[in-house]
Amino acid sequence: MILLRCDGGKQVGLGHIRRSLLVGEALARRTGLELHALVRPDPLAEGVLDRAGIPTTRLSTGDDLEAENEAFRGLAKRLGAKMIWVDVFQRVARAEAVSPLRSEDYLVCAVSDENHKITTVADHVFLTSPGLSGASDEVINGVSYHYGPRYFVMPVDYAAAPVAEAARERTILVSLGGVDQRDLIGPVIDTVARLLPEEWSLEIVTGGGYCGKEAIEEELRRRSVRFAWSEDVDDFPRRLRGAALAVTAGGNTLFERLAAGTPGVAVCQSEQQMEHIERLAGFGATAIACRDGGFDDVALERALETVLNESAVRAEMIRAGRTLVDGSGLLRVVDVIARGLTGPKRVA
């Protein structure tokens, strides 16, 4: 049995729960083990798991982290788990949350997007921050650490070579993920629509049920902007790979954009995203529409004009992005874990 500790229900792109499912399903195919998920009450998260057909246990421990970990350990024991997967996200955020889960009975693997080498105690820890690009994997106190965005988990669709620029649709795709944390989708769409070249179209991808959709659509029609609005998250990789440019947030959708070889601009939704965006921009992989840790419409306008008009900038974004994130992270993670499941459990 493989037990997934799931948090976060973002619908567009990966989201933390979707990448947990990718890892779990790939491992189940490789090993023949069954999957089970443990999740705090969350309609989005439970909906994703239900659609995937994954048996799920809901936590009922409230905000008591110690009780939550105890419930997790108890479930792992009852199920006879061989491995547990923890996405270090939100409340499961530091070593004190993951360390008690370690046991001689099963392999513990954790992933985090942190910008530094956190001290999570597990058997394998995947730290996918761009700040760790080029760092060599290492073993510290019996824990195997695997560094950099080359381990970033995403659908294997992204491992294919990018679509040539000439073959892409004349479309600018806008997606800020399934949870628009600062209600930025409206201002971003407004700016992109103003700069949209003649004969180009706008493609918007959001999670289902975005409450501002009708008002934005009405305004775009009034301005005679050609656009399409999609809530089909399963089709997101194809849409992203086919767009000429994209404006995304600074989380999972940004990493997917780099792997897709789609040049564009990153919009900041949080302080942690700002750190990622700045590092990736330093590599030449993306333009930035942020200032002081927040969204800046003037910066978006200037960045988008640059990306639209300078082919050399676009080419460098494609090269740098694919160098950092080649879309094969899922395969690397699964290979590491599968070896751990079949070989010695502990590293000396």
332 falls within a domain: yes
pTM recorded for the entire structure: 0.87
- Is residue 166, in this structure, part of any structural domain at all? yes
Residues 114 and 71 in one domain: yes
347 located within any domain: no
Same domain, 150 and 175: no
CATH code for the domain in which residue 41 is found: 3.40.50.2000
- Same domain for 146 and 166? no
**Structural domain includes residue 144:** yes
In a domain, 120, yes or no: yes
Q: Rounded to an integer, what is the distance from CA 53 to the centroid of its chain?
A: 21
pLDDT one digit per residue (tens) for the chain, 348 residues: 999 987 654 444 447 788 899 999 999 999 999 999 988 777 777 878 888 899 998 887 666 777 777 888 888 889 999 998 988 754 444 455 566 667 677 898 988 876 555 555 688 989 888 888 888 999 988 889 999 999 999 988 898 999 999 999 999 999 987 656 567 888 999 999 999 998 999 999 887 667 788 899 999 999 999 999 988 777 888 999 999 999 998 888 899 999 999 999 999 887 778 888 999 999 999 999 987 667 788 999 999 999 999 999 999 999 999 999 999 999 999 999 999 888 665 443
Do residues 209 and 297 share a domain? Answer: yes
Q: Which amino acid would we find at residue 209?
A: G
310 and 333 belong to one structural domain: no
Residues 30 and 150 in one domain: yes
Give the span between the Cα atoms of 288 and 269, in whole angstroms.
12
| DSSP 8-state assignment for residue 309 | H
**221, 251: one domain:** yes
Element (H, E) at 134: none
Would residue 348 count as lying in a domain? no
From its phi and psi, is residue 49 left (phi > 0), alpha (psi between -120 and 50) or beta? Answer: alpha
Burial (CB < 10 A; 0-12, 13-18, 19+), residue 106, is buried
- Co-location of 314 and 332 in the same domain: no
Query: Which of 48, 315, 299 has the alpha carbon at shortest distance from 178?
Result: 48
Same domain, 136 and 185: no
Please list, in sequence order, all residues whose beta carbon lies within 8 angstroms of the beta carbon of residue 5, skipping any fewer than 6 positions away. Answer: 20, 37, 38, 39, 72, 84, 85, 86, 87, 92, 101
Give the SS3 label for residue 220. helix
Query: Which regions of the chain does DSSP assign to beta strands (E)?
Result: 2-6, 35-39, 56-58, 83-87, 107-112, 124-127, 138-140, 143-147, 169-175, 201-205, 227-230, 243-249, 264-267, 287-288, 290-291, 294-295
Question: Measured between alpha carbons, how far is 308 from 314 in angstroms, rounded to an integer?
Answer: 8
**Domain range for residue 185?**
160-324
SS3 19: helix
Please report whether residue 224 resides in a domain: yes
Q: Within this chain, do residues 226 and 258 fall inside the same structural domain, yes or no?
A: yes
In a domain, 179, yes or no: yes
Same domain assignment for residues 96 and 178: no
The tally of domains found in the chain comes to 2
Do 213 and 141 have their domain in common? Answer: no
